[in-house]
Amino acid sequence: MHALWPLAAVGAAAICGIVSAAGIEDGEERSGVDFMTPETQALQADDMSNPGMLWVLQGEQLWQQAEGRADVACAGCHDDASQTMRGVAARYSAFDAATERPIDLAGRINSCRAERQQAEPLAPESDALLALTAYVAHQSRGMPITPATDARLAPFRDNGRRLFQSRIGQLELSCASCHDDDWGKRLGGSVIPQAHPTGYPLFRLEWQTVGSLQRRLRNCMIGVRAEPLDLELHLTERARGLLVETPAVRP
């Protein structure tokens, strides 16, 4: 997860405490699901049809499975996830005292594996890590996103906001160029959303699988012909108050 830190900082800037995103007025914040076709909205809303629920169910099994030299399961410490994990994903990313930088939910899961289970970390974008992350995040579905107000996150959040607003790549576009200034318009036949990370890990129809916010950010960086940067922290703050949807479905 450390290799993904540059992306995590933008998410932390989104998660942590900036007032309101330029270009999006207070009260105008809308989840990406609002821009989807009725068919995609219905796919997300029906747990029997939502393909992301397969990862949630896998995560539920992994939650009960003993791992590592400690031979302990997540449930061994945290018991019933529907109680102990409710609201957790709505608060992440958080500040990690051990590394003195933000850590996202997947990073916390891997940290817990290393410290408590004495197990090897799960690979980024692996089915197991996505499944556990989706399962934990699913416990917060329907709760408002409430970014941490930890002052130690401020410099990372500010850096994420700067990156979100900076023009990058050969196309000289910023994240804000599309998602603050032109949301609701069309690009290549698709409606431009506001880019709120309300449902990650989510099932993307284009990928035909579940993926993380970091994967989506990398795709966007490629789209404007730029390298991945520190983005994750800023995005969650922009989404403050929107409801967690994991596992969301997007085209």
Catalytic residues: 220
State which amino acid sits at residue 106.
Answer: A
CA-CA distance, 18 to 165, in Å (whole number)? 13
Q: Please, which residues have CB within 8 angstroms of residue 241's CB and are 6 or more apart in sequence?
A: 29, 144, 145, 146
Count CB-CB contacts under 10 A for residue 98: 8
Contact 235, 196 (CB under 8 A): yes
Q: Angle CA(145)–CA(201)–CA(58) in degrees, nearest 5?
A: 120
77 known ligand binder: yes
* Number of Cβ atoms within 10 Å of the Cβ of 62: 20
| Helices marked H in 180-231 | 213-223
Q: Is 16 annotated as a binding residue?
A: no
The answer to whether 179 is a known ligand-binding residue is yes
Structure tokens at 177: 């160029």
> What are the binding residues?
74, 77-78, 112, 175, 178-179, 216, 220
> What are the binding residues for substrate?
216
> What are the binding residues for heme c?
74, 77-78, 112, 175, 178-179, 220
